[in-house]
Amino acid sequence: MEYVILAIVIAAVVIGGAAGLVVSGKRRKELPPAPPARTPELREPQVGEEAAPPKEEPRRQVEEVALPETAVETVPETPGEEGVLLVEVPEPTAGRLTRLRSRLARSQNTLGKGLLNLLSRDRLDEDTWEEIEELLLTADVGVQPTQELVEALRTRVKVLGTRSPDELRGLLREELVALIDPTLDRTLNTAKHADEDPARPAVLLVVGVNGVGKTTTSGKLARVLVADGRKVVLGAADTFRAAAADQLQTWGERVGARTVRGPEGGDPASVAFDAVKEGIAEGADTVLVDTAGRLHTKTGLMDELGKVKRVVEKHGPVDEVLLVLDATTGQNGLVQAKVFAEVVDITGIVLTKLDGTAKGGIVISVQRQLGVPVKLIGLGEGADDLAPFEPEAFVDALLD
Ligand SMILES: Nc1nc2c(ncn2[C@@H]2O[C@H](COP(=O)(O)OP(=O)(O)OP(=O)(O)O)[C@@H](O)[C@H]2O)c(=O)[nH]1
């Protein structure tokens, strides 16, 4: 009897196993083929590595890795001309502000529209004038220019009597343009000193605190100059942060401008000097020097920037010292700007990130406080989002 029970149990196990094999075989057929099994590589931990065993992570095939955006924009090598890498042709600078006008209009809408709305009220009483004042102050126009503007508007509105929307718009446009001062010389001195022997490129120093957009601006400016037919050499004098030099070099490579750089932590003044030397040797039109703006102490800054300028001037005078300011930092930015202006003679201001703030009035206050014109404005992170500053086009965008 025991033998009979044992035989039944064995038979049941055999039948069950066979059935299971058939089912799993079917299931396997329905699934996509399994990836080849990967055995984790056994290796000794190296110095500096965590003691934990390496984690098994899915690795991407090379075809799955997205290439950086720049690679898409770069003109490919010409077939048949191996080793010749063509570079990008940046957009011409003429009319850039008009192209970027919608960005300005979007970000500065509250100021322009707000002013027009308030001025169109039936009765312009004290409260309304106060609201106008507040609006201007909120947009960082600054106390003194705000008072001047309100005064001018009050007088002209009174003389005007009844006001049509077109008249108001025209009046406001005139007053805002006057406040920004269209008579200031906003020319960027970038032309080679061809009369000297040897001909010497124009030298531009780009200064400002970290993160305001100095390196980006230097790169964009190189594109502006190349688009205008200039031969450019870049100097990566921000030796404090190696990534800044890499970033600058990438900008340069995209438009075919050579970047002179030094060792990380090296002397910024010597990099700047070498960049100008290279510029002279290459017959470049313009040398753009990106500096580090560590604002630890005024003395430290003065030592570093002052030295860069002095050393570069062994080749000849610097043509422009451009102070880059982040428009989104408002009054704080102005305080920093003043420190820089005390250290080096600023010849022009580049106001970046105007696309990201409604405080466009900073254009007016920064010019007033430093007595230096805004020459360029940054309106986005795109390669061609830097435009020469034009007061009329700027005000038109405010009032759009
Ligand atoms: N939206 C916007 N972003 C900008 C503009 N200009 C620069 N940026 C961004 O600001 C950030 C800082 O720019 P950087 O050029 O690295 O700043 P930096 O002053 O050189 O900083 P350090 O190299 O650390 O000294 C980057 O993410 C830029 O893309 C602009 O006009 N608009």
Residue 151 maps to which CATH number? 1.20.120.140
Do 125 and 210 belong to one domain?
no
Q: Indicate which CATH number applies to the domain containing 299.
A: 3.40.50.300
Do 119 and 220 belong to one domain?
no
Do 213 and 150 belong to one domain?
no
Contact 351, 378 (CB under 8 A): yes
By residue range, what is the domain housing residue 153?
96-180
Q: Which pLDDT belongs to residue 296? A: 59
Q: Which pLDDT belongs to residue 210? A: 84
Tell which of 117, 145, 180 closes a domain: 180
Residue 290 annotated in ligand binding: yes
Do 286 and 346 belong to one domain?
yes
Classify residue 345: in a domain, yes or no. yes
Residue 192 Cα to ligand 1 midpoint, Å, equals 28
Ligand 1 pocket by C-beta < 6 Å: which residues?
208, 210-216, 238, 241, 244, 293, 352-353, 355-356, 378-381, 385
Residue 214 annotated in ligand binding: yes
Please state, in angstroms and rounded to a whole number, the distance separating the CA atoms of residues 46 and 311: 45
Tell which of 116, 146, 180 closes a domain: 180
From 289, 304, 381, the mutation candidate for ligand 1 (largest count of ligand atoms within 8 A of CB) is 381
Q: Which pLDDT belongs to residue 295? A: 62
Q: Taking Cα atoms as reference points, which of 191, 194, 192, 218 lies closest to residue 207?
A: 218
| Residue 271 neighbours by CB under 8 Å, 6+ apart | 235, 236, 237, 239, 260, 261, 262, 289
Q: How many domains does the chain have?
A: 2
Residue 55 Cα to ligand 1 midpoint, Å, equals 36
Classify residue 126: in a domain, yes or no. yes
Do 255 and 378 belong to one domain?
yes
Do 268 and 387 belong to one domain?
yes
Do 341 and 265 belong to one domain?
yes
Do 161 and 209 belong to one domain?
no
Classify residue 83: in a domain, yes or no. no
Cβ-based neighbour number of residue 237 at 10 Å:
34
Tell which of 120, 146, 180 closes a domain: 180
Q: ipTM of the assembly? A: 0.94
Query: Can you tell me which residue has the tokens 């058939």?
Result: 22
Do 234 and 175 belong to one domain?
no
Residue 352 Cα to ligand 1 midpoint, Å, equals 8
From 216, 221, 261, the mutation candidate for ligand 1 (largest count of ligand atoms within 8 A of CB) is 216
Collect the ranges in the chain with pLDDT lower than 70. Answer: 1-87, 294-298
Cβ-based neighbour number of residue 108 at 10 Å:
25
Contact 321, 343 (CB under 8 A): no
Do 160 and 210 belong to one domain?
no
Classify residue 245: in a domain, yes or no. yes
Classify residue 91: in a domain, yes or no. no
DSSP string, 132-191: HHHHHHHTT--HHHHHHHHHHHHHHHHHH-S--HHHHHHHHHHHHHHHH-TTS-------
Residue 291 annotated in ligand binding: yes
Q: Which pLDDT belongs to residue 343? A: 84
Do 167 and 266 belong to one domain?
no
Kindly tell me the burial class for residue 343, based on how many C-beta atoms sit within 10 Å of its own C-beta (0-12, 13-18, 19 or more). Answer: buried
Classify residue 325: in a domain, yes or no. yes
Do 234 and 106 belong to one domain?
no
Classify residue 51: in a domain, yes or no. no
* Atom in ligand 1 nearest the alpha carbon of residue 247: 16
DSSP string, 54-117: PP--PPPPGGGSPPPHHHHHSPPPPTT-TT------PPPSTTHHHHTHHHHHHHHHHHHHHHHH
Q: State the DSSP code for 344.
A: S
Classify residue 39: in a domain, yes or no. no
**Helix, coil or strand: residue 392:** helix
* Atom in ligand 1 nearest the alpha carbon of residue 212: 19
Give the distance between the most distant pair of CA atoms in the chain: 124
